[in-house]
Structure 1
């Protein structure tokens, strides 16, 4: 089965897209991150996809683990803080692994827990789930990690927040993103 051109070139250029995004994000202070985990079946076994979503709805990092504990939360936090720096606030759901991990890295004062505060992270799982269904699930954790990282970067690149801008501005941004994507792939 042959995949469309954009799916074959996506993994090749995701690293370049990520480098540009990291350089851009480092220039601005991070206001708030939303952390959440989602259950994903890999070859019949439950795995956990831990994701961080920034205040703009973009997904800077995704980590796949076999466990749902403090060590997994620490893995996500250390990875994202190493790459993007420290945020002002970190919003999570009620999972106690987050609180334990925050205490260990010394960010307990920045931690917010609330019922509906983490909706941005919960809604970020929807595009991933749609794509997961289209792919008919995953067979290995390594494949899931690679796919989730690439999918997040490409989705961030083309997600233009249509509800916040006029139609004309939206079309200009989409055209610019597509032109840059073609330049990367060409």
Structure 2
């Protein structure tokens, strides 16, 4: 319920997405956190998986597609072998799959937020709590993140006002739950 309230803005996303995974320790074992962002750096979807294979990639692409209601024109990923087949089978054959290191840098840098938060927590003891934390942390971070476009000046007073509105929205959602 809370996640849906924070996801209201997903229909305005651009038609280019970057898909990347990172590693997290859960119960002493490595798990994979799949994350997708659009061209503007806004979060599309996130999913924690115990495996990095074709089935996990298909589930993630279906989830990202249902979260936005859009099929992207171009998807940028790392060079993992399961992505091209998963993209063709879930998103369609018209979607262009790109593997580019420099185009994926934005998402690689975006991992720093969640990795820095998890590092001080020293991992997770259960998979369900890790999954819940990763999804809610990314949603909340995306909601509170200032969404200014390149070369657009926003006065500090307006930025503070927008941030206070976003924080009030999040607090009201948490109080309702």
TM range (shorter): 0.7 to 0.9
CA distance in 2 between partners of 1:68 and 1:107 (Å): 22
Structure 2: gaps spanning 5 or more residues: none
* Higher normalized helix content (fraction of residues): 1
Report the TM-score when normalising by structure 2: 0.85
Indicate how the Cα distance of structure 1 residues 142 and 32 shifts in structure 2: closer, same or farther if over 3 A, else same: same
Structure 1: gaps spanning 5 or more residues: 1-14
Query: Is residue 182 of structure 1 aligned with residue 171 of structure 2?
Result: yes
Report the TM-score when normalising by structure 1: 0.81
Question: Offset of 1:23 from its aligned partner?
Answer: 3.2
CA distance in 1 between partners of 2:9 and 2:133 (Å): 23
Question: Offset of 1:123 from its aligned partner?
Answer: 1.2
Query: Is residue 47 of structure 1 aligned with residue 31 of structure 2?
Result: yes
- Deviation per residue, 1:16-74 (Å, 9 max, x gap): 3x324433222x25321110011111111111111111222222321111211111111
CA distance in 2 between partners of 1:97 and 1:130 (Å): 28
Q: Count the aligned residue pairs.
A: 170
- Contact kept in structure 2, 1:58 and 1:156, CA below 8 Å: yes
Query: Is residue 92 of structure 1 aligned with residue 77 of structure 2?
Result: yes
CA distance in 2 between partners of 1:47 and 1:185 (Å): 28
- Contact kept in structure 2, 1:35 and 1:90, CA below 8 Å: yes
